[in-house]
Amino acid sequence: MKLKIKLPLLFMLVFVLIIFPGAVFIRNFMTEKPKILRLPLMPVQLEVAFYLLILTGMVFVILAVYLHFNITKPLQFLNTRLKRVNISRPVILSSKRRDEIGELYNHFNEMEDRLYQAHKEQIGMIAAMAHDLKTPLTTINGFVELLALQKNLSEKETQEYYELILKKTKHIAELINTFSSYTKGEVELDALDVKSVPAQKLFASIATEYETELAGFDFELAWENSFKANQHITIDEHMIRRVFGNLFSNAVRYGERKDLKVYMRGYVRGMYAFFQVEDNGAGVPEKELPLLFQKFFTVDKSRQNQNGGMGLGLASCKSIIEHHGGEISAFHSNYGGLGIRFALPLVK
């Protein structure tokens, strides 16, 4: 039972316990033959006040004990736990209560878990950045040592080493630019420029754009939608177009098929507009589908090095969609490849 129900009932009970006996006392003393047991040598008025005082004291003692064990003590315990928040290893704060105190405990657990996940992501990001930067730097260092130690290298060999060093240096610059772009995108999400946009018009515009772009690679885009003209979504269009850009880029980059075909759908379910992009490409293993939206996660490191992916595209998509109040998920497409579906709330 909620406290907003418990407390009024409790105070109503206190009111009844005090007022009702008081009314009985007054009624009895208004009669000629009082029905209560009188104390010897005590006036009637003092006797009434004495009994009411004892009754009131007992009620408030019970009330104080109840409030201590049901409100004060749980809040004190929560306050103590707040001083010992552990983001590296959260400890579940258990409670079987179904009132506001129980909800407060659950929200605390959710907060601590989010802090833990953020801390874990931060460590993972640093580790991934260190790994991605270390690989080309190791190569550069090796070639520089060769150039410094081997004085008898031919002009052709020397030129090849310089070209490899230049290639790895450009790769490092690309990595840094990717990190910077992602960080910049995250900052921009805090200041979204949202406007009401017709879902049907947005869908058609994006489909037409990428139909032409995919045709340039000899790929095909099939698209359909069931949006109505009066169905709008409130979005930062630039950011949502970035999401579609990442999805189509991933399909081309990792599709690994010469006859790649991408399928795009739009439809409404409840109060959400759904957008779906699928392909008939290589797909992703089942166990790795939930991991696709983690920062720096790539299905295959060899594919990452070959295709230039950094594992930030889908993580960026997730941030953008969630900042718009929507959700995004990955699934196995019926066409054989990967499917990405995201939902954005419709304007009411």
Three-state SS string over 52-76 comes to HHHHHHHHHHHHHHHHHHHHHHHHH
Cβ neighbours, 10 Å, residue 88 = 9
d(CA 186, CA 316): 8
Q: pLDDT per residue over 153-203, tens digit each?
A: 888 888 888 888 898 888 888 778 777 777 776 667 777 889 999 999 999
pLDDT of the residue at 95: 76
DSSP of 198-213, one letter per residue?
Answer: EHHHHHHHHHHHHHHH
**Residue 94 pLDDT exceeds 80:** no
Are 171 and 200 in contact by the 8 Å Cβ rule? The answer is no
Minimal CA–CA distance to 295: which of 277, 275, 278, 319?
319
The total of structural domains in the chain comes to 2
Q: pLDDT per residue over 200-255, tens digit each?
A: 999 999 999 999 999 988 999 999 999 999 999 999 998 999 899 999 998 998 88
Which SS3 state, helix, strand or coil, does residue 329 take? Answer: strand
Strand 261-269 to 220-225 pairing: parallel
What's the gap between Cα 197 and its chain centre? 25
Residue where one domain finishes, among candidates 40, 63, 84: 84
Q: Which residue has the higher pLDDT, 40 or 106?
A: 106
Look at residue 107 and tell me if it is in a domain: no
Tokens linked to 43: 């006036």
| 253-254-255-258 Cα dihedral, nearest 10 degrees | 60
Regarding pTM above 0.85, the answer is no
**Residue 304 pLDDT exceeds 80:** no
pLDDT of the residue at 32: 46
Nearest 5°: phi and psi at 305?
A: -65, -35
How does DSSP classify residue 196? E
Q: CB burial class (10 A; 0-12, 13-18, 19+) of residue 225?
A: buried
Look at residue 291 and tell me if it is in a domain: yes
CATH code where residue 220 lies: 3.30.565.10
Q: pLDDT per residue over 319-332, tens digit each?
A: 899 999 999 999 99
Q: pLDDT per residue over 261-271, tens digit each?
A: 999 999 999 99
pLDDT of the residue at 154: 85
- The contacts of residue 101 (CB under 8 Å, 6+ apart) are 3, 70, 71, 74, 75, 95
What's the gap between Cα 111 and its chain centre? 11
Look at residue 100 and tell me if it is in a domain: no
| Segment among 30-44, 80-94, 199-213 with least mean pLDDT | 30-44
pLDDT of the residue at 65: 78
Residues 329-339, mean pLDDT to the nearest whole number: 93
Look at residue 111 and tell me if it is in a domain: no
Q: Please, which residues bridge with residue 196 across strands?
A: 234
pLDDT of the residue at 36: 47
Look at residue 143 and tell me if it is in a domain: no
Look at residue 205 and tell me if it is in a domain: yes
Residues 44-58, mean pLDDT to the nearest whole number: 67
Question: Tokens 């595209």, residue?
Answer: 313
d(CA 267, CA 225): 6
Residue where one domain finishes, among candidates 84, 112, 142: 84
- The contacts of residue 21 (CB under 8 Å, 6+ apart) are 51, 52, 55
d(CA 211, CA 202): 14
Are 246 and 299 in contact by the 8 Å Cβ rule? The answer is no
Look at residue 327 and tell me if it is in a domain: yes
Helix boundaries (H) for the chain: 3-30, 44-67, 73-82, 100-149, 155-188, 199-215, 237-254, 301-307, 313-323
Residue where one domain finishes, among candidates 53, 84, 115: 84
Domain that holds residue 261: 195-345
Q: pLDDT class for 22, splitting at 50, 70, 90? A: low
Look at residue 161 and tell me if it is in a domain: no
